[in-house]
Chain A
Amino acid sequence: MIGEGIQSTNQRKHSYVQDRVEVGFFTDPSVCIGCKACEVACKEWNHVPDDGFTWSGNSYDNTGHLGASTWRHVMFLEQDRQKGNQVTGPMSLDDDPFRWVFLSDVCKHCEEAGCLEACPTGSIVRTEVGSVLVQNDVCNGCGYCVVSCPFGVIDRRPEPLHDAGGAFKCTFCYDRQKSGLVPACAKVCPTESIVFGRLDDLRARGAERVQQLKQSGYNDAQLYDPTETSVRGIHAFFLILGEPEAYGLPPKPQIPTIYLKSAWTSAFATAIASIIATLAAFALFS
């Protein structure tokens, strides 16, 4: 919480990896100032290569989207909606509500992870703290995780970047966590918009924050944590203002393995039909 200083979970040493405690990120746009310190800290600590710079023309967002070389992405939403108890009217010609929302997006570390299930090399694993990790020396760059992530997070890094060819995404700073350190993005966040901690604590804290915001007039504040779908919840969850679509978040994300049964049934039926057709062809015309 803001004002906790070195007592904050973002600044304390911990032993979550040794204690096998499920951890997570709670990201709260209502206190985000859009400084992008999380993006910089992530790139610097993890040696994520520079993948070029372009002006997007989309507010202050020149990062674009999460990908192989972008593991934190600060979104800048411009909406014609009221923000909290914002007063509209006197400042403009007519009643003209406007809000600017910043939210730092990251890999969701799903409870049921599409990328992890899809990976044919066993490169993607679940860690002691419940996060999803790509073991980069094992990945052969088949690209199947890319189409299996319901959030479009993981991607294959293109040439000529360093370490090209493999799939990359947020590691939840597993290396830091093993040494009792907090992930780089949470450590640097000046307003604690990104909070790192025990998943159960964070979920309680998120629910509390939504109540607080609603009392302050943020009527469309809600938690984005799809526990009701086949993804069964995410370890890096968000507080959002308005609908998830505006943040590029799917309202009902599904893990693609739920489609396996019908697809394999169809495949087996086709296999049997092909064998029967072939045998019939030879039996009838020999």
Chain B
Amino acid sequence: MTSNSPSEKRLEELREQAWKDGVVPGKGVDVAGGPIPRKPGYYGQPVVKPPVWTWEIPLYFFFGGMAGMSAVIATGSVLFHHVDLARAAMWLAVIGGAVLSPILLIMDLGRPHLFLNMLRVFKHRSAMSMGAWILSAFGACVVPGLIALELHAHQVFPGALDQLLRAAAGIFIFASAIFGTLLATYTGVLIGATAIPAWFLHRTLLPIHFGTAGLGSAAAVLELLGHRTPALNFLGFYAAAVETALLIWLSVDKHGTADRAIHEHGSGWLIRIGEILNGPLALVLRFFSFGPMAALSFLIGSLVSRIGWIAVGKVSGSDPESVFAAERY
């Protein structure tokens, strides 16, 4: 029975298309497995595995980076005799690097009770192994560094012992700064040296971003705690300027399909929002002397962009076309 009504015409069109093409794609109808699959790769299955990491890891990147770079600020403060700022920075380094970071990392393990196995071997070719050792060394330096600094600042012991504490504080704080810079930057190596296309294509940018975001975050938290010094303001400017440059780099250095997770999807928006908050917006706010606002903007931005980079890994790792396209680079 034929009819001239539009709905019947539509059904006849569908029948014709099915006869001609062998398959009828439509909204909400998955024809991937149809007579001949039309999805990229093997039925659109991921070629590499996306990361299994959950919310703990971006938070660890955030706190670890902030704590590591706090130790650098503490070293600067000690050298130039800002004892109060040094104490605050060391407290930040201990809370972030020796308390929160290990807790977050252990929580993310599939078998948290075996966390000590991280220190079974030392493998310089594994960024995860290097990270475990860097974090341990950092913890082993910041905790005695803070104790010695506090004992010295409060003049708990008299005379020669106090001089000894002063020297010990200096050595431990300097060592913390060295391991701290590595703690803040190795995370970029960690995700940069993987099989995930959007990550390994940006392996040079990632350590710069993570390290600088760590330095800016440390300065921002110290400013928000009331240490509104010109030195921290300068560091705020420096970090926001570098982040602005990285935002431009990321928008220019595009790899098409291979790193589309950075420019498309929700993951792309997270990266963009994060980078604008800790780049241009923080820079402009600081330029017009809205110090605390700039600090807050930078902090939120560096947290959001860390969440964004993990999200990018999940999207990019699940996308077979990205993996095939990335092999050209």
A residues sitting closer than 8 Å to B (CB atoms) are 56-59, 61, 64-65, 67, 75, 77-80, 98, 114, 117-123, 138-144, 146-157, 164-167, 245-254, 256-257, 259-260, 262-272, 274-275, 277-286
Chain A: which residue is nearest B208 at the CB level? A270
Chain B: which residue is nearest A269 at the CB level? B208
- Contact check: which of B37, B80, B126, B193 meets A283 at CB < 8 Å? B80
| Contact of A270 with B212 at beta-carbon distance under 8 Å, contacts A143-B51, A151-B48, A278-B75 already known | yes
9 residue pairs from A and B, CB less than 8 Å apart: A58-B43, A120-B123, A120-B126, A140-B110, A155-B49, A256-B193, A271-B184, A282-B79, A284-B231
Cβ B204 vs Cβ A266 within 8 A: yes
Cβ B121 vs Cβ A278 within 8 A: no
CB distance from B157 to the nearest CB of A (A): 28
Chain A: which residue is nearest B30 at the CB level? A57
CA distance A149 to B47 in the complex (A): 10
| Contact of A164 with B194 at beta-carbon distance under 8 Å, contacts A121-B118, A248-B45, A251-B327 already known | no
- Contact check: which of B30, B42, B110, B230 meets A285 at CB < 8 Å? B230
CA distance A274 to B110 in the complex (A): 34
CB distance from B112 to the nearest CB of A (A): 8
Where chain A touches its partner, the secondary structure class is: mixed
Q: A118 to chain B: which residues have CB within 8 Å?
A: 126-128, 194
CA distance A154 to B35 in the complex (A): 30
Cβ B33 vs Cβ A57 within 8 A: yes
CB distance from A162 to the nearest CB of B (A): 13
| Contact of A119 with B126 at beta-carbon distance under 8 Å, contacts A250-B47, A267-B182, A282-B80 already known | yes
- Contact check: which of B47, B127, B203, B208 meets A248 at CB < 8 Å? B47
Cβ A279 vs Cβ B76 within 8 A: yes
Cβ B69 vs Cβ A274 within 8 A: yes
- Contact check: which of A56, A78, A121, A277 meets B117 at CB < 8 Å? A121
- Contact check: which of B48, B79, B182, B189 meets A263 at CB < 8 Å? B189
Cβ B195 vs Cβ A147 within 8 A: yes
Cβ B121 vs Cβ A277 within 8 A: no
Listed stretches B232-240, B273-281, B289-297; interface member: B232-240
- Contact check: which of B80, B128, B177, B206 meets A120 at CB < 8 Å? B128
